[in-house]
Amino acid sequence: MTLAEVLLSLGLCVVVILSLIALAISALRSNSKSSDTVVAEARANQVLDEFVYGLPPATDPFWAQSSFSSPYQQDTTQIGSNNFTTQVYITSLGTAAPGLFRCAVNTTWQGGQAGAAGQGRQVVEVARILYAQ
């Protein structure tokens, strides 16, 4: 075994290992963002469902309002290593049809691992329209 053969083998190993590390890091970051997005969307959808389920009956003064505080509702939940903040926004669509509202839920979180460079503030929004009954 010559020295050159050893060096060539080691060099090849280093290249392969470094490539793998780079690929793994890239995949992990991409996967992390995707996972966070999926989690955020799921969280937003859950909050939206819970909000709709908890709405008062049509006779409640809630439905007579034409404007709502912004955000109407807000909370923060830790899922995994991330804090997800959800905000519920309600907008009257009375100009389109009486008694109609648009309900949007925004979920925001800070992308990337804590203490490491990340993707910055991430946000997803889900929305639907609601009719008072």
Partner 1 sequence: MRKSRRAIMLVSVLLFSMLTLMFATAAISLAPASLARSAADSGLTASDRATRSGLDWVRSRISQDPRWNAAVAQTFTAPGLYVREGEGQVVGWVAEGSSWSRFRIRFNYQDGAASSAPDSDGMNDPSTAWTDFPYCSCNNLTGSNSRPLPVAQSLTSSSSSSPWTGAPQLTVPSTAMVVSIEGASGRNVSLNAGTPQNFIGAYHKRVAQVVLKLGNNQPITDAAVMAAGNLLLTSSSVVQLNATGGAPARMRTKSNLTVNAGVTSPLGELMHAGSQTISGTLSGVTVKSEDATGLYRIPASKVRVPSSPIGLQAGTYLVDATGHLLYVNMEYKDYVAASPKPPGTAVPTPAGMTIAVTSGNPKVSITLTKDLQISPSGALTGFALVPDGGAPQSATYGGIAATTPPTSPVLTTPDILAQYFNSNYSNKMPLDTATLAAWQAMASANPRLTLANSSASGSRSNSSGYATTSVPYTEYSVSGGGRLLIPNTLPTPPTQAYIWQVGANISNVLNAAAPAEFAGLQTATAASMPAPPATPPAAASAGLKPKDLELKLQGGSSGVMLANDGDITIGAQIASNGSALVSKGDIHLIGTSTDFNSSSGTQLGLNLYAQGSITVDAYDLDATAGGTFHSVKLQGVVYAWKDVTVLAADGSGSSTGPFTLKGSLVAYGGDPAGSSTAGTGNVTITAGSVDITYDPSYVAGLAPAGPFSMKVLSWHQF
Residues that bind partner 1 (CB under 8 A): 1-2, 5-6, 8-9, 12-13, 16, 19-20, 23, 27, 30-31, 34, 38, 41, 45, 48, 58-59, 91, 93, 95-100, 102, 104, 106, 123-133
Nearest approach, Cβ of residue 24 and partner 1 (Å): 8
Number of Cα atoms under 13 Å in the Cβ half of residue 47: 27
Determine phi and psi for 79, rounding to 5 degrees: -125, 120
Instruction: Please identify, using beta-carbon distances, which residue of 20 and 76 lies nearer to partner 1.
Output: 20
Lateral strand order in the sheet of 82-92: 73-79, 82-92, 100-111, 120-131
Q: How far apart are CA 58 and CA 62, in angstroms?
A: 8
Which tokens belong to 132?
């008072």
Instruction: Please identify, using beta-carbon distances, which residue of 100 and 110 lies nearer to partner 1.
Output: 100
Nearest approach, Cβ of residue 94 and partner 1 (Å): 8
Nearest approach, Cβ of residue 11 and partner 1 (Å): 10
Name the β-bridge partners of 110.
121
Q: Find out whether 102 and 75 touch, Cβ atoms under 8 Å.
A: no
Nearest approach, Cβ of residue 5 and partner 1 (Å): 6
Instruction: Please identify, using beta-carbon distances, which residue of 115 and 120 lies nearer to partner 1.
Output: 120
